[in-house]
Amino acid sequence: MQTGRYFAIWVLSVLCCQGATPSASVILPMTETQKQGALFIDALSVPSPGEVFVAMNKACRPNWATLVTSISAPVTTERSQLALGVGVLAANGYIAVEAQDGQQVKNVGREMMQVAKALGISESLMGRGNSLMQFADNNDWEALAEELEATENEVKATMVGQKDKELVSLTSAAAWLRGVEVATAVVLGSPTLQGASVIEQPALARRLSLQLGDLPGRVRQGDRVVMVRDYLDQIAAILERVGAGKDPSMEKKRNEIQKIHELSASAVVSIMASANASPTPMMHSIPIQASEGISNIKAVPTNTPDSSSPSKP
């Protein structure tokens, strides 16, 4: 009896230490109606590039310094393209934060202010731009990551305030595409495709595409929006294939991820092309030999113990 009492006390203390709260009632599984009726909110349901990269860090410790690229804001008056550009730039900012590249963060901040000016919303973002510069100067990487997201969200909120709420979907889709481009490059640089599970999110790709399909007529029919939607659909189809296949071979999986990388990279190039350049012709799925696929990719080395690249604090 005393043993039982001591056991009960031990169980209680373990529960208390873990902060667990015993549930008061049984929780039933969701019904199909509940699943279909679940809210999809851009600010919460679409993961930020920061989340993707944090997951990549755990899976395969990328060498972020080699992934930093300088991208200029597109020179255009097309609001759809500007909204897409904000997404790509925001994702680039997260990469710069992961690489702890303060100068690149500042560059991204400047380009985002350029786009905001073209959208007519720069005044409300001046404070954000200054904060980005300050955090970059102070090497406050955590604060920078949060400020980047806050800046992106403020752009989105201002778009909504300007009766341009549909542009929000474009920004989110573009940020995700840039994130996928980077993540696939990292995965392809690993002989064992480490980190692949992070990018296997076909449902998200489909949802982003659906959102673009729900945009008002003129916006939906714009060249770049059509292009981005097509890329999202192609990527979703490949991800669904990868997910449905029973233990695909490494070679086959590598080929598929290579295709996703090329599609997302093409999408980003077209998004950021200036107004006098026509969008890159849409890529369609093409068979790629494994060796060709690997040679087409600039391998992104992951951090090794001997690496001298900067590491996240």
By CB under 8 A, name the binding residues for another protein.
18-21, 23-24, 27-32, 34-35, 37-48, 50-52, 54-55, 58-59, 76-80, 120-121, 123-124, 142, 145-146, 149-150, 152-154, 157-158, 161-166, 197-198, 200-201, 203-204, 216, 218-219, 222, 275
| Distance in Å, CB of 197 to another protein, minimum | 6
| Distance in Å, CB of 130 to another protein, minimum | 16
The two three-digit tokens of residue 164, written as one number: 């341009």
HSE of 91 in the Cβ direction (CA atoms, 13 Å)?
Answer: 29
For residues 65 and 155, which CB has a smaller minimum distance to another protein in the complex? Answer: 155
| Distance in Å, CB of 301 to another protein, minimum | 20
For residues 35 and 284, which CB has a smaller minimum distance to another protein in the complex? Answer: 35
For residues 122 and 280, which CB has a smaller minimum distance to another protein in the complex? Answer: 122
Residues 6+ apart with CB under 8 A from 237: 202, 285
The two three-digit tokens of residue 201, written as one number: 């999110």
Contact 220, 243 (CB under 8 A): no
| Residues 177-211 as b or e (16 or more Cβ within 10 Å = b) | bbbbbbbbbbbbbbeebbbbebbebbebbbbbbeb
For residues 43 and 250, which CB has a smaller minimum distance to another protein in the complex? Answer: 43
For residues 32 and 306, which CB has a smaller minimum distance to another protein in the complex? Answer: 32
Residue among 76, 52, 68 nearest 103 (CA):
68
| Distance in Å, CB of 284 to another protein, minimum | 25
